[in-house]
Amino acid sequence: LIVGLVTENNAWMTELYKGTLAMELPPSATSGRTAVHILSAAVEQFSISEANNVISDLELAVRLSWIDSRLRWDIKTWPFATFPAKLNVHHQLWGPVFVPKERKEFFLTSTKISYNDAIVRSNGNVTTTVSIRVPRARCTNDLHQYPYDRQHCCFDIRAEPWKRLRTVVTLPTATGSASSPSSWALENVKMTPESSLENEREEYIRTCVTVVRNSAAIQAELSLPMAVSAVIFLCAQLTGKWKTQVYLKIVAIFLQLFAFQALISNTNLSFASQTPVVYRYYNFTVGMTVFSLLQTLVLWALSRRTFDSPPPHRFILLSDAMNYFVYGKANDKMKECGQAIIEKAKTSEWHSVVLALHSALSILMVFIYLLGVALIYS
C-alpha cells in the first residue's frame, strides 16, 4: 500500500522516505510560529545520591503533539486514519529538539533525548513521546515527614529553534507512571510555560518534579524501638511491684536513648527547614516516659509513708473498685488486721489508695499518649 501511495505521485510521501521532511520545520502558522503541544508527562526513572541529597538524576517522558500540514492526505482517497507504518522523528519526520535553558548546562541530544515512534494522522497531526534525561538536577529536600521525605526537583528546558516554535502546555500537572522505582513514589509533575526576561518571545518550560520516598523499612527501623519502649512504660504498672515498675521504665528510657542516637546520626535531618515529625514523636515519647517514671517514684515514696489517720471511706471504696478492675482483686488487708495492729492497717489502706491513684494516672497516660501520637502524625 505504501509503495502504491508513493508511485501515485504523493510528493510528501516521497520526501518522507528520503528524509527531507526531517530537515525542515513544518510550514509556520498564521502567527509565524509552529505550536508544539505538551499533552502529558511522567517520570520514567529517578535516582538520588545519598551522599548529597541535592543532586538527582531523573528521566522525564513527555508526550508531544504538533501539526505538520505537509503530512495531510484525503481519507476518502486513502482510507486509513493513521499512517500504516512506523515513522521516526529526526530520521523521517521533523521534531523539536529540547535543550536546557542555560547554555552552560547544554547536554548532547544523542545521549540525553530519545523519541519513540510517531503516529501521523490524516489531518497532519503528529503525536510522539520523547524521553528527556536530566543528569545532576538540583533538588530541595523536604524532611518534615521523614522517612517519607519529598524531593522537589526543578529545571528549565526549551524547544529549539525557539524563535519559530510556540510551546503550549495542555496538561500542566501529571502523575507518575508505574515504571517509577519502588524506593521513590512520584507525587506530581508540573510543567509551566515561562518567558525569558531578556526576550518575551523566548519561551521555556519550567518543569518541577515531586517524588516521595517510599521506605517502610526505614520507618520500621525508627519506630520499632520507640514502640517497644512505649509498650514497656505503658504496661509497667501491670507488673504490680513498685521496684519492678521503676526498673522497667528506666530500661525504656535507655532504649529510647539508643534509638535517638541512631536517629541523630542522620546528618540530613539537621538541615530540615521544619522540625521533622519523627523528632516530635521521639520527644513526646521520651517526655511521657520520664513523667511516668517520676510519677511512679513519687507515688512509691508516698505509699511508704506512715499516716496518723485512715483515708476517707469513699476513697477506700474507689480504690478497692480500681484495684479490682486493674489487678482482679480488691485490697482486703484491713479485714485481716486486728485491733492491735491498727497503725499497720492505716498504712495498708493508704497504700491501697495510692496504688489505685497510680493505676488511674497510668490508664490516663495511655489515652494521652495514643492521642498525642495520633495528633503528631495527623
Answer whether 215's CB lies under 8 Å from 148's CB. yes
Residue that terminates a domain, selected from 173, 192, 214: 214
In a domain, 210, yes or no: yes
When divided into structural domains, the chain yields a total of 2
Please state, in angstroms and as integers, the Cα–Cα distance from residue 321 to each residue in 20, 133, 318, following that order: 95, 70, 5
Identify the CA nearest to 297 among candidates 343, 253, 249, 264. 249
Write down which residue in 199, 214, 229 finishes a domain: 214
288 and 226 belong to one structural domain? yes
DSSP for 188-240, please give it. EEEEEEEE-SS-TT-EEEEEEEEEEE--HHHHHHHHHHHHHHHHHHHHGGGG-
Q: Cell digits for 178?
A: 508505574
Residue 254: which domain range? 217-376
Residue 142 counted as domain residue: yes
**Per-residue pLDDT at 371:** 92
- Flag whether 16 is in a domain: no
Contact present, 80 and 9 (Cβ < 8 Å): no
The string of pLDDT tens digits covering residues 10-27 is 555 555 555 555 566 676
Residue stretches of the chain with pLDDT short of 50:
1-9, 51-52, 104-111, 178-181, 330, 333-345
Q: What is the pTM of this model?
A: 0.60
| Cα–Cα dist 364/176, whole Å | 45
Same domain, 151 and 230: no
- Inter-residue contact 21 to 70 (CB < 8 Å): yes
For cell 520520664, the residue is 290
99 with 34, same domain?
yes
User: pLDDT tens-digit profile of 127-160?
Assistant: 888 888 877 777 777 777 777 778 888 888 777 7
On whether both 225 and 307 belong to a single domain, the answer is yes
Residue at which a domain ends, from 150, 184, 214: 214
Q: In sequence order, what DSSP letters do the residues of 226-277 get, joined into one string?
A: HHHHHHHHHHGGGG--HHHHHHHHHHHHHHHHHHHHHHHT-GGGGG-SS--H
